[in-house]
Structure 1
């Protein structure tokens, strides 16, 4: 409980501190760029929070990285709130595609928008696809984004059905998809519990999948390719059968227990 309380305090203080720095920079008209305050504050926030929780992030797959400055659409599995700081720590500067509800979080929502988060209204299909069009134009301009194709957090590492929108976005942008597997965050912070525990989180950056030349009609096949690559990683490294959804009780077990 002490670790959880300390992490909660760190989240509050870090969000106020780094969120305020971000909004101040925007108010002063500071320029965006690879080395700007807008790229630094998210990483400072993530490092602050991960340190408070006692979480170490290990990144695998740098050999698949694309040339410096190339835009990407990262697509990752989603099982814990701690996926967010882990991904911010692991990846180069990028924007999130996130649900509209996050925008309502005081300070955090506004600061996240300032650093490149694009909010999606899932209840309004027309507005959602308009936001995806906006994201695609930013990707074509050289930005990268992270999307969780499952939509919301799951209870286990078994992959759930993917939404079509992220793949329409990737095809519209023409940027390659980098499938990402996050493993270890359930032990740190499972969806079923309000707690934070020390642990190691593994982030696997898998081989990019090109989208150049694909059309809207290719979205389902593309989604299956991405899903299969992520499933193969989960099976090979952690013994997870992505086709089997464990019970909620099993999802709260430590990583070594789940993969045993």
Structure 2
């Protein structure tokens, strides 16, 4: 009886803290998000093993379906413009601004398992237990950011596969998460891949999360995010000498779109 009272008291206190304390609510929601990723990853690995599937972007279908359902638990809505630019089986490099690990919600809104969508991630993700194994089986592209020579080899492998597999390679050109608003300087890797492959670049812009999510302020609430897919930018005929101008032009268009689609208070020059 005493233990029952103790556990009931802990439960009541936890519920009160969840609804009255932003920090508690933030960690509870993010912790639940990580738990769901682990469950989805485990289910994906088991599904691949039991069906004897090979490593393939087609193995993303469970993650796509699950994340589209999970967003309702968090009250996140996505207003997507220009989705038609991604709804084909043509190879391309897709650039996306990177704000949080929660970007996965938006990516799964954009991905269609009928097309070969994959994402470029840091190699260390491979070693995150069952999540790393699941991403590997879903044909995620891993780059070693600390070994330049190896990273170049890995990018060359993407170039070799992008046409044969008709890959839509999603890349975060900032190279890391940006919690400060606007966008960090872009790295050139994605542009080299696109130019070497002679495939179009499709810029995709997520509006600011700040009004509904902030790691610094421990905010995590429901709300709407605008995702804007801009028209493809052709790279046919371009060479590596064209990359600096191409990078500046695309980054400028993405920053302008970010500022236009984000809440006024979230904009950053």
Q: TM-score, normalised by structure 2?
A: 0.79
2:45 maps to 23
| Of 130, 149, 156, the match for 2:153 | 130
Question: Residues 181 and 9 (structure 1 numbering): CA distance in 2 closer, same or farther, change over 3 Å?
Answer: same
2: CA distance, partners of 1:67 / 1:136: 21
Shift of the alpha carbon at 1:143? 1.2
2:71 maps to 50
Q: Which runs of 4+ in 1 moved over 3 A?
A: 1-4, 31-34, 186-189, 235-238
After superposition, give the CA deviation of every residue in 1:119-159 in whole Å (9 maximum; x if it has no partner): 11111001111121122222212011110111101123322
Alignment length (residue pairs)? 240
Question: Residues 18 and 171 (structure 1 numbering): CA distance in 2 closer, same or farther, change over 3 Å?
Answer: same
Shift of the alpha carbon at 1:196? 2.7
2:205 maps to 181
| Of 247, 250, 261, the match for 1:226 | 250
Which structure has the bigger radius of gyration? Answer: 2
1:77 maps to 97
1: CA distance, partners of 2:226 / 2:72: 16
1: CA distance, partners of 2:261 / 2:218: 28
Shift of the alpha carbon at 1:60? 0.9
Unmatched tracts of structure 2, length 5 or more: 1-17, 20-24
Higher relative helix content: 2
2: CA distance, partners of 1:67 / 1:43: 15
1: CA distance, partners of 2:88 / 2:135: 24
After superposition, give the CA deviation of every residue in 1:161-200 in whole Å (9 maximum; x if it has no partner): 1101111111122211000110143334334355532111
Q: CA RMSD in A?
A: 2.4
1:109 maps to 132
Q: TM-score, normalised by structure 1?
A: 0.82
| Of 191, 198, 217, the match for 2:222 | 198
- Does residue 62 in structure 1 map to residue 83 in structure 2? yes
- Does residue 40 in structure 1 map to residue 61 in structure 2? yes
1:118 maps to 141
2: CA distance, partners of 1:20 / 1:189: 27
Matched-pair contact (CA < 8 Å) for 1:81–1:191: no
2: CA distance, partners of 1:26 / 1:41: 10
2: CA distance, partners of 1:194 / 1:179: 29
1:209 maps to 233
- Does residue 257 in structure 1 map to residue 265 in structure 2? yes
